[in-house]
Amino acid sequence: MTGILEEARRYLAWLGAQGPLGTVHPWVAVVAADLALRIRWRALGPGRGAGRLLWMCERMATAPLAPRLVPRLWDAARARGIDAPDWRGTTPPGDCVLTPDRYRALLAERATGARLTLDGDTARVWAPPGAVVRLWDGLTVTTHVADGEETTHLFPPADPADPSAGRRGAAVFTRGDRLAAGPFEAYTALRD
């Protein structure tokens, strides 16, 4: 099964990277990105929503050192009750191998602080400048680029023939990170 899991992880990571591009439905990108990282680091026992924290651990470890450092970064974060990469501090964790400038750049890549509030036919959104905001109703999806101001967007009108019409959600995609609202909020942070 290991070979199948490795191949699935690569494919899922590719699907997850499609989120801001709009080539797959946003829920596919959110779930696939989370699952790809959970498969890669399955020995750590990560639950649903752990992908964002694992993403941060991988970036702080860098690719060559990831096999050794990600488990240590993961264990340290979980021991402190951290379940997502949304901490406020700017001091890197002890095992982070990034330079201070690269660490601050990584902090800026997070979706931390993005706010998505779904209310009837609208979504109120604040996301970092340049983040991609995708709203959906069933299979109908709209894409917006955040400018750093809070905005209200109408959900796209669903196709009346779409059996999934009425199932709405929103997602914010930054360079590598993502947050979701609606039925996919479970993929925003680890839930025990």
Summary mean pLDDT of the chain: 94
- How does pLDDT run across 76-96, given as a tens digit for each residue? 999 999 999 999 889 999 999
Which pLDDT value is given to residue 185?
Answer: 86
Phi, psi of 117, rounded to the nearest 5 degrees: -125, 115
Which pLDDT value is given to residue 2?
Answer: 78
- pLDDT band, very low/low/confident/very high, at 179 (cuts 50, 70, 90): very high
In the structure encoding, which two tokens stand for residue 133, read together? Answer: 């905001």
Domain ranges (residues) in the chain = 2-109, 115-187
Average pLDDT for residues 3-29, to the nearest whole number? Answer: 93
Is-contact 93 60, C-beta < 8 A? yes
φ/ψ region of 134 (left if φ > 0, alpha if ψ in -120 to 50, else beta) reads beta
- How does pLDDT run across 114-127, given as a tens digit for each residue? 999 999 999 999 99
Q: Is the pTM of this model over 0.85?
A: yes
